[in-house]
Amino acid sequence: MKPIELLYAANVISRRGDGARQDLAFRLLVENRAFEKDIAVNWSGEDGAWHSARAHWLCSLGPQRELWHATASHTAADDADTLPGDIRFAARSRMAGEEYWDNNDGFNHDLNADSGIRLLGPYALLHTDYRPRLDPGQDYLHITVALRPTTAITRVFVRWSTDRWRTFTDTPCFFRRRHWGHTAASNARNPNRYGNAVWISHLGVGAAFRVEYAIACETGAGTTWDDNFGCNYCARRDRLKVLTLNLHCNQEPDQDAKLWRIAQAIRELEVDIVCLQEVAEPWNDGRGDWAANTARLIRERIGRPYQITHDWSHRGFDRYREGSAILSRHQFMGTDSGYVSTGTDPRSIHSRRVVHARIDVPYIGPVNVFSSHLSWIDDGFREQLPRLRQWACERHNGDTAATLLCGDFNIPAGGEGYDLATGDGCFADQFLLARLRQSAAAGFDPPPTDRPRPDPADGRIDYLFAHRDSRLEAVAARELFTDTDYGRVSDHPGYLVEFEPR
């Protein structure tokens, strides 16, 4: 394959009020030769001045190829200002210290003003407005198809599925006559200049989390498919992002900066559910001080609405009421807490209370989340884990999309406690599974087995375990609050896992 290849370009002029606007769009196929890439389209208008339109990653097509997209716009507000008009352009990629071009063998590509879409290279059928994200509340997915037919078209349709192709639907596309401009005021110099036809369709995706699809054109010569280079197109809702973090009970020197940094990460990464342990508030003769509770202070600093539930277990570091909390962007359907330790004496560090929330996650369903901080293997873990698991299994009914046990389990990955937690296959290590799936998707390793074992060098004692009957799959994972990722905020890193429905 080529290191970089232009798939199509669009040149459209629209007029509204007293002004006019020219919009350019470019789709590119890029070989994945390095993680770091600089992709752009260089273009010039009729004035001969060259510009660079920075491209943005759209999706991966397996481990070897990626789709990128670039746009540029110019507005003429009065007669003294002119639009670029006809353009010349070439695509450029820089990666791994090398530079590659698609410049039409040195002659550059061209596209007339307001002529709509031009398919480039050998491609006769392409989906031109692909967006991989379904917005909240979006019930319909708009599809635009560019065709360069060589014989009479019998049918154009979209084949799509919302259940990973267990079932599918064929929805027809319809010919769109005026494709190059937004209004009847277009003064297109060369409408249909390039012999392309534009067809459109709308898919009623409703409340589906994901829709996968491919586009077909039937002619007398047979059927041509655009299946996104063998990967199919996929548009989905935002993944469910779950973070677990032990806050280390106010032991860092600059608590205010630490809490702001945690809130910044939650906000920037759009984390849905946050499980916190060693949440601290002043002891205050056992009465505590909610105004100084660290989970509450983090929520205030996020700057966005989050539900919160919290409870405390014991006196920590001789100064604090120490407990666990759950923050959620989505509504709580119910919350509770309970001791999983035999002892409940607040003066004992081995009195361990777990916080639970049942959360209504849009497009996914009810998710049970437990924020847990258990004792070490010889200090109570053996009795605490079975109680937690029994509690979680009792809450996992037929309506539950997932049950997640999150937090500090004080058990080294791959050790005896880890085997007790995962050995029977009822609960699985989601951070490990996500990392293995990411590695397989990148082409480095085979897909994970049902019960993968962590690497001996894996130093985790914090986990996100999921019930085996959960309808979610961990697809991405990230270690946070390290020296290179938001900085240290605790003696524990944070672990972020992203989930999609199976």
Q: Which residues are bridge partners to 198 per DSSP?
A: 146, 176
Neighbours of 313 (CB within 10 A): 27
Average pLDDT estimate for 38-58: 96
Average pLDDT estimate for 82-97: 95
Tokens for 183, please give them.
Answer: 């209004």
Q: Kindly list the structural domains of the chain, giving each domain's residue range(s) and its CATH number in brackets, ordered by start.
A: 1-113 (2.60.40.2440), 123-237 (2.60.40.2440), 240-501 (3.60.10.10)
pLDDT-derived band at 133, boundaries 50, 70, 90: very high
> What's the chain's average pLDDT?
92
3-class secondary structure, 501: strand
Give tens-digit pLDDT for 174-196. 987 654 444 444 554 445 567 78
Phi-psi region of 165 (alpha: psi -120 to 50; beta: other; left: phi over 0): left
Phi-psi region of 229 (alpha: psi -120 to 50; beta: other; left: phi over 0): left
Task: Please choose, from the candidates 62, 203, 56, the residue with its C-alpha nearest in 3D space to the C-alpha of residue 138.
Answer: 203
Confidence at residue 181, expressed as pLDDT on a 0 to 100 scale: 44
Give tens-digit pLDDT for 240-279. 999 999 999 999 999 999 999 999 999 999 999 999 999 9
pLDDT surpasses 70 at 292: yes
Q: Find the range with the poorest average confidence among 67-71, 149-153, 341-345, 462-466.
A: 149-153
Give tens-digit pLDDT for 374-385. 999 999 999 999
Helix 255-268, helix 294-302: angle, nearest 10:
50
Average pLDDT estimate for 55-59: 96
Neighbours of 57 (CB within 10 A): 12
* Identity of the residue numbered 41: V
The string over 96-127, giving b where at least 16 C-beta atoms fall within 10 Å of a residue's C-beta and e elsewhere, is: eeeebbbbbeeebbebbbbbbbbbbeebbbbb
Confidence at residue 180, expressed as pLDDT on a 0 to 100 scale: 47
Average pLDDT estimate for 83-112: 95
